[in-house]
Chains A and B, each alone.
Chain A
């Protein structure tokens, strides 16, 4: 793997960039592997990388039915944060954030992590009380969280609507400085490149058609490129996971919905933070390219179609303009939708399921991107050791039967 640096860029520039090699090998499936990961998004690729890196598992394959990073990894608003309420959630998302903080160096691929800070903005005294509850929970869990007032909020987000007829006047909120955004595609490509360099086979355009199970144990997968054997299989396929799990007779606590994201035409810098407004449910940041990247609630009809619908667009866009009336100068440039796998408590499912050797990493719903390094780290741990890492234990599928849901929306009044 040719190392990326300003120096190598310079020397390659002098010789017409002829020396750059493919970021990841285009692998063809071998007959068998130590572990197979189904799903070549951020979570799947990170899993492969950490399996090879942390656990030294030599023969690992990632099977992707399309092109890597083409699912929700490439269809989100790129926010990264760990401003959560329950200690279990904080442990999970802060693991992700900490790994993100060193990821560009670890992968030698600039994922452009911009820790510009995130404000969860409140507009009623009740919401401010909830914000206090969250800020205190974050501090008790050792995560940077502050409660800020209206003045500081407006300082950080000066364009916020503060006209007399504003539906929601910002009273302050929760501030997390370490939160921010990153370049989503780069996360997938960076993991792919680093994993490939460690010997992982990344196989694109390979659809899994069945899970092979013998006497209660997973033995491999059937694909449109033939059957591939492995005694450990991890599913990290977001909205496609219920269909994969059903091949092993497993039903999951998941509904799938379309979540839309929106991009405006680019303008010069004018919004320096990530913002979530409780009153409107709309969240927004400005990309390095100058585009506003924003989103809001789910489309209301369960679906597997990666298409957005007009009512949700109208709700999200009007929410944005209620927050920032000046943004009505801008035009919508792009819009897309990802199929998100939503659990009853909006927390992920990580752990074993069904036949021995099969493990899940799914149910991230609208919050998967920010968790990619942790999702990969924890699924790799499961695949390598067969057992839970202490951080993933609370997110096991068994929490639904035990009745121990980790419902952030209910605990904090704020969903993902």
Chain B
């Protein structure tokens, strides 16, 4: 308990607005403007959680998305969100923060004793044990121990996150000094600039380090830059993380908004400047994971922005110049500061700071919190240790965009190789530390004309700080995943020396900070152990996301009806008014039955009514692909299994479209409306792909100027009238008289006429085996057709029928549904359509495939019908098996219903050599039970086809 709040410093907080919160159930208080992390630091709470494996106490380390420890389950308004990084969100009134991986709480965690067994739990220990009795015996225990926070099963965030596309001339990522200079320079040249930063306000490190630019305060410079951006039509997005660089110059950004849903931006820019800065590295010494050990940069951040101070007696261990302003600011704030610099030639200490040169910190003392440190063998009493092991440039997006890295000795880091990605790079991310360099590089990257903004020169020097493999004691490399230097040594010893193997074997760098606190040290240690340089050792691959992104941001609005949005009928409202239940068929929402009774019962009633009098159903989803022009007939001959050039105008023909593999892709009726005009009535779920098959042939095989293909499915509505009284219904509806005459409109014919001032197409085709009329009008006239047919329906006692009844009616006739009664092996001759295969001499799609060895086999699965005793229909999906001998699948039931008109069950099946088995019996297997069936013809009802004309 040694963090405290300074009485006056703190640019972000509003001391007049205290915000109460709880941590692990105990009350705390912060101010408006605080993050949970700053509020906890200021209130002196040190132990914020427990580590993953050893349950060691964990405290605050950093200030942003590099934070590995201060992660909480946050409850607000009764809803909990797990694993919230407390450094990157704002504190809100009455937030309940709950530490993760602790029981009962962070301070008194019961499993802390696991740490006593640490010597038996080295990295990757689980690969060597838990094999006795099988892993499943041990897994539940391991699973319970693992995992950070807890999912709140009752908390379902709404899918309300808009996803927006944007373009700009220049995208500047990072609004620190380099980014501001780049944006300002470009905007002054009239370019539209988007300046994006994940902090709540621009400024980057200027926010806590301050600085004078062009002789004025940095805030003036920032205001000037913002003004220039706005004036040039640009935009500033704060609280926004660019989390991915994708192919062809796409960047994805997550914008956090207070009071409105977050947003996803997909941004494309003509040019991009990367000015993402750098993140401070830790130092490595015994017990370097103790709460109270913080990044020096973060300590300054908390002091300047929130007045939150890490301790009163502070040891700052460093090897670079960047830490000196930190020491100075803390001393000024009233802390007792000792600066231990690893360099022998360290600069002079700031006023009021004790200074140790060539000093080496080797150990921290303390149980749950820092109580002392050992520097050069001497114990120093301290209540907080601030460290700086140098900085690692945030090169992620450069690498995601394909960029490579080079070692830069001056900044002791890997920096972007110039020209290896399409991004301009400026400032600390480029290894260019110090305000003057950042401004100059930013100005140049933004295409600045004239002199760059000026600041006091200050080129920071870095002494290479590395983990020492020979140092005694446990040195943490990855604090969240509990990877120590010994684990890295063990990995090297066991041959897991590639950085990827090291990562995967020890889990180093795989924590939720994505290795920001761990990767450099892991890499440096492996390099030291294997006698390689750091660049020789290599890095793991950088991939999106830059930092963890809520899944909801990526999912966006796609939920419910907006996920795989179903297609809807023009008459949906009318059907709903009739009490239709809707179900999805081939991507379309269609009536399944009409009424509120049991679906199966209603379907039986509807199917019977259609057989006895007349049924009406909405067939609008049927594909309507127009093929027009002098080459249309030739094209359709090629794309169809049955020839269509021989079809007379006004007539219709049933046929198949095959893929080049000979498999039935779709079936349907083709109408020839005129010599050079056809309509392909593809099945509803295949219309789009049939159009593409036709297009491909048109463009690739034929003269494409001789035909034109036009899918007009959505432009028309079709209502089908079927049953013995279907003609009566047409008459009652006052449809044109020409339709009533069978000589004019026989079965398999089509006519176009006018009715009510718009076009009307009527086709005599049948999907039920009964006399049927498909009546098609432009979709906008569907309500008029609907009301005419509905009035007539009442006169002739017809019934609206849903798709479930239609399924029964077509199955009674043995009419197939492609994809249900066929599978990915079914060829047309398997369905009894032999003639074109045997007789056609011209080329057509899939022809050659119908003659492979496999296609010629006699035992191919063929479509047949099934008969059974009793009233219960067979389960669809049951398999046919031999009655004797070895049990194996001979095929399966594809459609099965109770036929109300026949008063018995019917079924269709694909069966090996099925047609030769007609009249014989087979077993039928379903979930372990066996029954008997008789194989029969697929047409169960009206086999002499008399009802078509009845």
User: Do A and B touch directly, given a CB cutoff of 8 Å in the complex?
Assistant: yes
Q: Are A5 and B555 in contact, CB atoms less than 8 angstroms apart? A: no
Contact A314 to B555, CB < 8 A, known contacts A23-B494, A132-B875, A335-B545: yes
Q: How far is the CA of A8 from the CA of B120 in the complex (A)?
A: 10
Please indicate the chain B residues that have their CB under 8 angstroms from the CB of A108 in the complex.
Answer: 131
Contact with B along A177-192 (1 / 0, CB 8 A): 0000001011001100
Interface residues of A in 252-296 (CB under 8 A from B): 264-270, 279-280, 286, 288-290
Most chain B Cβ neighbours within 10 Å, of A17, A105, A159? A17
Please indicate the chain B residues that have their CB under 8 angstroms from the CB of A147 in the complex.
Answer: 927
**Among candidates A70, A130, A409, residue contacting B824 with C-beta atoms closer than 8 Å:** A409
Contact with A along B143-187 (1 / 0, CB 8 A): 110111111111111010001000000000000000000000000
Please indicate the chain A residues that have their CB under 8 angstroms from the CB of B892 in the complex.
Answer: 133, 136-137
Q: How far is the CA of A334 from the CA of B501 in the complex (A)?
A: 17
Q: Are A326 and B879 in contact, CB atoms less than 8 angstroms apart? A: no
Tell me, yes or no, whether A58 is within 8 Å of chain B by CB: no
Q: Are A140 and B925 in contact, CB atoms less than 8 angstroms apart? A: yes
Q: How far is the CA of A328 from the CA of B548 in the complex (A)?
A: 13
Please indicate the chain B residues that have their CB under 8 angstroms from the CB of A112 in the complex.
Answer: 126, 130, 135, 139
Q: Are B139 and A114 in contact, CB atoms less than 8 angstroms apart? A: yes
Q: Are B129 and A132 in contact, CB atoms less than 8 angstroms apart? A: no
Stretch at the interface among A221-229, A316-324, A377-385: A316-324
Tell me, yes or no, whether B544 is within 8 Å of chain A by CB: yes
Tell me, yes or no, whether B855 is within 8 Å of chain A by CB: yes
Please indicate the chain B residues that have their CB under 8 angstroms from the CB of A166 in the complex.
Answer: 560
**Among candidates B157, B564, B824, residue contacting A329 with C-beta atoms closer than 8 Å:** B157
Contact with B along A2-17 (1 / 0, CB 8 A): 0011101110011011
Q: How far is the CA of A126 from the CA of B152 in the complex (A)?
A: 33
Please indicate the chain A residues that have their CB under 8 angstroms from the CB of B148 in the complex.
Answer: 265-268, 290
Least Cβ–Cβ distance between B223 and chain A, in angstroms: 34
Stretch at the interface among A91-99, A240-248, A357-365, A400-408: A400-408
Tell me, yes or no, whether B549 is within 8 Å of chain A by CB: yes
Tell me, yes or no, whether A325 is within 8 Å of chain B by CB: yes
Interface residues of A in 111-125 (CB under 8 A from B): 111-116, 124
**Among candidates B154, B159, B545, residue contacting A332 with C-beta atoms closer than 8 Å:** B545
Q: Are B129 and A114 in contact, CB atoms less than 8 angstroms apart? A: no
Stretch at the interface among A30-38, A207-215, A305-313: A305-313
Stretch at the interface among B691-699, B761-769, B881-889: B881-889
Q: Are B926 and A132 in contact, CB atoms less than 8 angstroms apart? A: yes
Please indicate the chain B residues that have their CB under 8 angstroms from the CB of A328 in the complex.
Answer: 156-157, 159, 550-552, 555
Q: Are A74 and B881 in contact, CB atoms less than 8 angstroms apart? A: no
Q: Are A114 and B136 in contact, CB atoms less than 8 angstroms apart? A: yes
**Among candidates A124, A130, A132, A314, residue contacting B554 with C-beta atoms closer than 8 Å:** A314
Tell me, yes or no, whether B928 is within 8 Å of chain A by CB: yes
Q: Are B129 and A5 in contact, CB atoms less than 8 angstroms apart? A: yes
User: Smallest CB-CB separation from A164: which chain B residue?
Assistant: B560
Q: Are B135 and A13 in contact, CB atoms less than 8 angstroms apart? A: no
Q: How far is the CA of A327 from the CA of B558 in the complex (A)?
A: 14
Least Cβ–Cβ distance between B576 and chain A, in angstroms: 16
Q: Are B135 and A114 in contact, CB atoms less than 8 angstroms apart? A: yes
Q: Are B146 and A266 in contact, CB atoms less than 8 angstroms apart? A: yes
Q: Are A140 and B548 in contact, CB atoms less than 8 angstroms apart? A: no
Please indicate the chain B residues that have their CB under 8 angstroms from the CB of A87 in the complex.
Answer: 888-889
Contact A402 to B852, CB < 8 A, known contacts A137-B889, A140-B888: yes
Q: How far is the CA of A283 from the CA of B130 in the complex (A)?
A: 28
Please indicate the chain B residues that have their CB under 8 angstroms from the CB of A16 in the complex.
Answer: 119
Tell me, yes or no, whether B702 is within 8 Å of chain A by CB: no
Least Cβ–Cβ distance between A182 and chain B, in angstroms: 9
Contact with A along B528-572 (1 / 0, CB 8 A): 000000000000010111001111101110111101100000000
Please indicate the chain A residues that have their CB under 8 angstroms from the CB of B560 in the complex.
Answer: 165-167, 322
Q: Are B127 and A109 in contact, CB atoms less than 8 angstroms apart? A: yes
Q: How far is the CA of A67 from the CA of B550 in the complex (A)?
A: 32
Tell me, yes or no, whether A410 is within 8 Å of chain B by CB: yes
Please indicate the chain A residues that have their CB under 8 angstroms from the CB of B83 in the complex.
Answer: 265-267, 330-331
Tell me, yes or no, whether B647 is within 8 Å of chain A by CB: no
Stretch at the interface among B243-251, B367-375, B638-646, B739-747: B243-251
Q: How far is the CA of A8 from the CA of B127 in the complex (A)?
A: 12
Q: Are B151 and A402 in contact, CB atoms less than 8 angstroms apart? A: no
Q: How far is the CA of A20 from the CA of B80 in the complex (A)?
A: 44
Q: How far is the CA of A333 from the CA of B68 in the complex (A)?
A: 13
Least Cβ–Cβ distance between A395 and chain B, in angstroms: 15
Q: Are B246 and A330 in contact, CB atoms less than 8 angstroms apart? A: no
Interface residues of B in 115-138 (CB under 8 A from A): 119-120, 122, 125-132, 134-136
Most chain B Cβ neighbours within 10 Å, of A5, A6, A267? A267
Please indicate the chain A residues that have their CB under 8 angstroms from the CB of B843 in the complex.
Answer: none
Tell me, yes or no, whether B76 is within 8 Å of chain A by CB: no
Q: Are B119 and A13 in contact, CB atoms less than 8 angstroms apart? A: yes
Least Cβ–Cβ distance between B249 and chain A, in angstroms: 12
Q: How far is the CA of A333 from the CA of B551 in the complex (A)?
A: 10
User: Smallest CB-CB separation from A183: which chain B residue?
Assistant: B127
Least Cβ–Cβ distance between B894 and chain A, in angstroms: 8
Least Cβ–Cβ distance between B145 and chain A, in angstroms: 9
Tell me, yes or no, whether B738 is within 8 Å of chain A by CB: no
Tell me, yes or no, whether A131 is within 8 Å of chain B by CB: yes
Please indicate the chain B residues that have their CB under 8 angstroms from the CB of A135 in the complex.
Answer: 877, 927
User: Smallest CB-CB separation from B493: which chain A residue?
Assistant: A20
Least Cβ–Cβ distance between B362 and chain A, in angstroms: 19
Tell me, yes or no, whether B853 is within 8 Å of chain A by CB: yes
Please indicate the chain B residues that have their CB under 8 angstroms from the CB of A13 in the complex.
Answer: 119-120, 122
Tell me, yes or no, whether B38 is within 8 Å of chain A by CB: no
Least Cβ–Cβ distance between B925 and chain A, in angstroms: 6
**Among candidates A105, A110, A286, residue contacting B129 with C-beta atoms closer than 8 Å:** A110
Please indicate the chain A residues that have their CB under 8 angstroms from the CB of B551 in the complex.
Answer: 264, 317, 320-321, 327-328, 330-332
Contact A334 to B543, CB < 8 A, known contacts A105-B131, A129-B876, A185-B505: yes
Q: How far is the CA of A403 from the CA of B156 in the complex (A)?
A: 49
Please indicate the chain B residues that have their CB under 8 angstroms from the CB of A167 in the complex.
Answer: 559-561, 563-564
Q: Are B888 and A334 in contact, CB atoms less than 8 angstroms apart? A: no
Please indicate the chain B residues that have their CB under 8 angstroms from the CB of A129 in the complex.
Answer: 820, 876-877
Tell me, yes or no, whether A24 is within 8 Å of chain B by CB: yes
Tell me, yes or no, whether B498 is within 8 Å of chain A by CB: yes
**Among candidates B247, B507, B855, residue contacting A309 with C-beta atoms closer than 8 Å:** B247
Tell me, yes or no, whether B461 is within 8 Å of chain A by CB: no
User: Smallest CB-CB separation from B128: which chain A residue?
Assistant: A4
Tell me, yes or no, whether B947 is within 8 Å of chain A by CB: no
Tell me, yes or no, whether B490 is within 8 Å of chain A by CB: yes
Q: Are B559 and A321 in contact, CB atoms less than 8 angstroms apart? A: yes
Q: Are A410 and B824 in contact, CB atoms less than 8 angstroms apart? A: yes
Q: How far is the CA of A314 from the CA of B552 in the complex (A)?
A: 10
Least Cβ–Cβ distance between A293 and chain B, in angstroms: 13
Tell me, yes or no, whether A411 is within 8 Å of chain B by CB: yes
Please indicate the chain A residues that have their CB under 8 angstroms from the CB of B134 in the complex.
Answer: 104, 113
Please indicate the chain B residues that have their CB under 8 angstroms from the CB of A115 in the complex.
Answer: 136
Tell me, yes or no, whether A139 is within 8 Å of chain B by CB: yes
Given contacts A185-B505, A318-B554, 15 further A-B contacts (CB under 8 A): A5-B131, A20-B493, A23-B496, A26-B495, A112-B126, A132-B877, A132-B927, A140-B881, A204-B498, A269-B147, A279-B564, A280-B564, A327-B151, A402-B853, A404-B854
- Counting from the closest, the 8 A-B pairs by CB-CB distance are A410-B824, A290-B147, A132-B877, A403-B852, A22-B495, A403-B854, A331-B548, A325-B156
What are 28 A-B interface contacts by the 8 Å CB criterion? A6-B132, A9-B128, A110-B129, A112-B135, A113-B134, A129-B877, A140-B881, A140-B889, A163-B156, A165-B561, A167-B564, A264-B551, A265-B83, A266-B147, A268-B149, A289-B146, A307-B247, A314-B558, A329-B81, A329-B151, A331-B83, A331-B512, A332-B545, A333-B514, A333-B545, A335-B543, A403-B853, A407-B825
A residues touching B (Cβ–Cβ < 8 Å)? Answer: 4-6, 8-10, 13-14, 16-17, 20-24, 26, 66-67, 69-70, 74, 87, 104-105, 108-116, 124, 126, 128-137, 139-141, 146-147, 158-159, 163, 165-167, 183, 185-186, 189-190, 204, 264-270, 279-280, 286, 288-290, 307-310, 313-314, 317-322, 325-336, 344, 401-405, 407, 409-411, 413
